[in-house]
Amino acid sequence: MSWENVSFVIGSKTRKAVLLKLDTAKTPTILARELHTSIPNISRALRELQSKGLIECVTPKARVGKIFTITEEGKAVAARIKEMERE
């Protein structure tokens, strides 16, 4: 787990919310509905998280309804963030 990744995630309310919501695989539309934000905001956060290797798209060839899931590094970062919030 990289502290740089923790800092990157907590630097954005949307990135943090998306990462913590991806405990199960979800589409951008589902995330937008659950987090009460726009799809463009979710899409940007997904791209940013994916660029750091924290999430991955498991349906990269799909044009619509892409499904995203959290990686092992993403799980470690999410666990660290949750731990920090409990302190």
Q: Residue 68 maps to which CATH number?
A: 1.10.10.10
> Residue 81's pLDDT is what?
96
CA distance 43 to 38: 9
Distance CA 52, CA 5 (A): 7
State which residues form the domain around 24. Answer: 3-86
* Domains in the chain, number: 1
- Taking the model in full, what pTM does it have? 0.92
How confident is the chain (87 residues) per 10-residue block, as mean pLDDT? 94 97 96 96 97 96 94 97 91
pLDDT at 26: 97
